[in-house]
Amino acid sequence: MINLPLLSILTFLPLIGLPFIIVGKIINAENYQNISKYIALFVSLITFLISLIILYNFDINTSDFQYNERFPIMSGLMTYRMGIDGISILFILLSTFLTPICIIASWNIISDRVDYYMCSFLILETLMIGTFCALDIVLFYLFFESVLIPMFVIIGVWGGERRVYSAFKFFLYTLLGSVLMLVAIIYIVLASGTTELPIIYDVFSIDHGIIQNLLWLAFFASFAVKMPMWPFHTWLPDAHVEAPTAGSVILAAILLKMGGYGFLRFSLPLLPDSSFYFSDFIFILSVIAIIYTSIVAYVQEDIKKLIAYSSVAHMGFVTMGIFTFNINGIQGGIFQMFSHGLISGALFLSVGVIYNRMHTRKIADYGGVVSVMPKFALFLMVFTLANIGLPGTTGFVGEFLTIMAIFSFNKVFAFFAASGVILSAVYGLWLYRKVIFEKITNDAVKSLKDLTLGEKVTLIPLLILIILFGIYPAPVLDLISVSSIGLVESINLSGGK
Amino acid sequence: MADLFESLIIIAPELILAITAMSLLMIGSFYQKKSINLIITISFLTLLILSFNELISNNIQAFAFNGFFIEDKLSSFAKFIIFLTSALSIIMSANWLRDYDKTAFEFPILILFSTLGMALMVSANDLVSLYLAIELQSLPLYVLATFNRNDSFSSESGVKYFILGALSSGLLLYGSSLIYGFTGTIFLNEISQLTLSSNQLGITFGLAFLLAGIVFKISAVPFHMWAPDVYQGAVTPVTSFFASVPKMAAMIILIRILYVPFDNFISSWSQIIIFVSFSSILLGSVVAIWQNNIKRLIAYSSIAHMGFATLALSTGNKSDIESILVYMVIYIVANIGFFSCLINIQNRIEKDINNISDLAGLSVNSPSLAISIALYMFSFAGIPPLAGFFAKYYVFISLINEGLIFLATFALIASVIGAFYYIRFVKVMFFDEVVDTKKITFSRSLGFINSICFIFILGFIFVQSITPLANIISNATLALN
């Protein structure tokens, strides 16, 4: 169909921006900040365009991997194998779509070492796309783990007051999870004699027993930290709070999804029996995440922290959906990840809007914003309602599908999961009331200006997508359905289900 | 006579090195300071040519002087790395030497003599040549440790190194004599045939002492105590040399001792090696957390790295030597790269950098230096896609292949602890408030060395895919089979 190695081009295109930014700084040292912004924006937009071309030529009627590229590298140690299916293309689009938005959102905010910042984001974009494209288990690990470096730098350099603590916590926490996964990966590679995932799917099989359970737990250690699932979530509020706005957006919208993607790509197809064996365990953790972190979110004084806890709660739906082993659950889980990517991104951008004006994240410092920023209030209302899961937004579709699947799996868990929807309304609406309504108590609020053009440019696309796919989710579901069905069918439980 | 001539041909590189070193010593003692540039240039070129010679040499296996000396792919490869790294060490110290006092000319010559010792060491094929070579490489190192005579730290470190080094040599000799006593031979390949028919306990005893002596040279736990003090006391170019070249030589001789004469004793020595490697990783990772001095920290880091490298020995499988060699190469390159940055900073600001906090704010005015150091640190920590990750990856493949999964898991968890102090460098350079610093640029030679190391570490995937490095290493591995 197409001879160009489009996936490689897509993955490594953002890196092309780096030499231009460096050269720009050398030839025009005074105005390098603007130059690097424009270069980064331009490159990320081109990347987005290429991802659209890939989407245009994507065949949604097959669950096979498409756009395959393959050649052995490192003298046979691993294979450079890229390819996408319906699940990964969704996350690739999310990454390429959000990166330009993040760059625009940081346009006037970041003034310190702009060139480093833009380079970090471009590197991050490459690594994110690579993670979702890689079809070689080692190559996947390389991308998955390298993400730590730019994210560590983004939190540490441009973050808030406690940025060093948060960056270290983020780095070491995720690294600890990942090294355990590395052991499992090496075991699987040695057992199956290849590093290519599609071949491993065919040849790797292991009887259900202690080894499969240990392998599963090793993968779980990495993905549960990344997701993050309760009780491994404690790095997330810190990282979110201290990261700059765009960093929070990428963290919430893409990096968390790598955990769910990992469950779908590795745990479920490779270790099906253990996945089934541990599904109650996952359900219990997810239910605790949904209920406990929702309650924790309610008592937060910091806006970003509240949204971070709400992310943990929403990821609970994803893990529950994935581990129901049925098509609705898996589709719902994937859709919920996609929807949460849009919504949490939008929420963090909105917080960024008011934070840049007030330089405080304390809920108590706000109140009555609606009277000075009516347009902003409208945007935030839609995003908050979407976060709650109001019908007509993407949040509803994901939660509805997953709860439906959980209901057919286990009614008790479904009851608890559904209560999470109510709890999210409690803290979501509470936050909205405290920030947007009520009397103005803080004089600084009175002088706030409404949204600027740049802020509108970042928020409007998200608003449109959230409502569009909320009312008409079919395009997204079509994209993922064949692959999800393929995934469900490929899971052969030896014990039978 | 023909035998002697053949032996001389085989040992020619070492002879050239010895003759060069001695002639340079003459030149140096007559012309002193004036000859410094000449001495640096000649010693650098000699080492470079010799290393290239080892790279292209095609010796499958050759013995010289009735089996006293062996030249095979493993020793060729080791010598290639040793000569090249020594050459780089001399160039890296060149700027600093030119400003040093009149004894500066001794520095390259001492390095040449030590390198000669190491070259003989990796080719040693009997217990006597092993001992002689180890002493020849150690004695110049003791002097190098005290090179900065006016500094009490430096003198202390040299004396400490000397006393502990003498102790380890004693242990080594005692072990050798036990082995000789129980087997009746000093040749490594003959020992391997006699081990099973001799007194097992006595040989195990001798092996333990022999190992103690060699483990001291790679500064692994429990014989690591000298490393932090010596690294800290020595001047930076010497620390750079200590941290890279002698480790390679000692690691090769460790491999040779374990796999050639004591091939049948794997069950005995693999326990020792597991203890040594795991405790090195743990101690190196944990203790370094409290260090503020860069050189002490690098010392602990090198203890941990030696632990990782020897971990691949604990499998007792000859094919895992490949993992060790890859690990050592990557470790040395990252070390050289890091020290080229550090020496460059010291040359430019004309004072010593002692604490990590002295690097604060480096990222603002000297981005290329800061990014390079950060890259080496991430590589030391084993973060992909940098070379340091692949170094660990190879080792863990070996371990898991042999079923040592729990050892691998614990070692990996320890490496996460180790990551903490490596990323502290990044924190200091990038996150901390900027102190008043001036712009530091690379000098030409150090910049060149740094960029080579940078490319190697960053693009290790390409290096391993395109260059013949992987081929050379796997050939070297086959030498012992």
| pLDDT at residue number A496 | 46
Element (H, E) at B94: helix B73-98
Q: Inter-chain contact A74–B471, Cβ cutoff 8 Å?
A: no
Identify the CA nearest to A298 among candidates A420, A455, A133, A451.
A420
Contact A445, A367 (CB under 8 A): yes
A169-226: pLDDT as tens digits: 999 999 998 999 999 999 999 998 888 998 988 888 888 888 899 999 999 999 999 9
* SS3 of A102-122: HHHHCCCCCCCCHHHHHHHHH
Rg (CA), chain A: 22
Nearest CA in chain A to B375: A149
| pLDDT at residue number A147 | 93
Q: Inter-chain contact A183–B383, Cβ cutoff 8 Å?
A: no
Calculate ∠ Cα A483-A485-A491, nearest 5°.
105
Identify the CA nearest to A486 among candidates A138, A24, A117, A60.
A60
CA distance A193 to B289: 38
CA distance A249 to A94: 11
CA distance B342 to B340: 6
| pLDDT at residue number A159 | 86
Q: Inter-chain contact A74–B465, Cβ cutoff 8 Å?
A: yes
A20 touches chain B (CB under 8 A): no
Q: Inter-chain contact A113–B364, Cβ cutoff 8 Å?
A: yes
CA distance B379 to B377: 5
Sequence-separated (6 or more) residues with CB below 8 Å from residue B200: none
CA distance B364 to B445: 23
> Token digits for B319?
């094919």
CA dihedral of B80, B83, B88, B94, whole degrees rounded to 10: -170
Identify the CA nearest to B344 among candidates B364, B372, B302.
B372
Residues of B in contact with A149 (CB under 8 A): 378, 383
| pLDDT at residue number A2 | 53
Identify the CA nearest to A142 among candidates A217, A99, A82.
A82
Contact A115, A21 (CB under 8 A): yes
How are beta strands B61-64 and A78-84 bridged, if at all?
A: unpaired
* Closest partner CB to A183 (pick from B383, B400, B401): B400
Q: Inter-chain contact B430–A157, Cβ cutoff 8 Å?
A: yes
User: Given a cut of 60, is residue A497 above it in pLDDT?
Assistant: no
Distance of alpha carbon B24 from the chain centroid: 25
Residues of B in contact with A156 (CB under 8 A): 426-427, 430-431
Q: Inter-chain contact B426–A153, Cβ cutoff 8 Å?
A: yes
| pLDDT at residue number A349 | 93
Calculate ∠ Cα B90-B92-B96, nearest 5°.
95
| pLDDT at residue number A350 | 92
User: Given a cut of 70, is residue A494 above it in pLDDT?
Assistant: no
Q: Inter-chain contact B409–A180, Cβ cutoff 8 Å?
A: yes
User: Given a cut of 90, is residue A140 above it in pLDDT?
Assistant: yes
| pLDDT at residue number B117 | 95
| pLDDT at residue number B353 | 83
> Token digits for B99?
């400003």
Chain A: closest CA distance from residue B110 (Å): 38
Sequence-separated (6 or more) residues with CB below 8 Å from residue A3: none
Chain B: closest CA distance from residue A74 (Å): 4
**DSSP code per residue over B52-89:** HHHHH---SEEEETTTTEEEEHHHHHHHHHHHHHHHHH
Average pLDDT by stretches of 10, chain B with 481 residues: 82 93 92 87 94 85 87 92 94 88 86 95 92 94 89 88 93 93 88 81 90 91 90 91 93 91 86 92 91 92 93 86 93 95 89 85 85 94 91 91 88 90 90 76 90 94 87 85 71
Count A/B contacts: CB-CB distance under 8 Å. Answer: 87
What's the mean pLDDT when you consider all of chain A?
A: 89
Identify the CA nearest to B210 among candidates B270, B274, B278, B130.
B130
**DSSP code per residue over B247-282:** HHHHHHHHHHHHHTTTGGGHHHHHHHHHHHHHHHHH
Which amino acid is present at A86? G
Residues of B in contact with A142 (CB under 8 A): 384-385, 389
CA distance B72 to B248: 16
Report the pLDDT averaged over residues A251-263: 92
| pLDDT at residue number B363 | 84
> Token digits for B380?
């030391």
Sequence-separated (6 or more) residues with CB below 8 Å from residue A247: A151, A154, A155, A158, A159
> Token digits for B255?
């491999």
CA distance A46 to A17: 11
Chain A: closest CA distance from residue B431 (Å): 5
Identify the CA nearest to B411 among candidates B290, B275, B244, B207.
B275
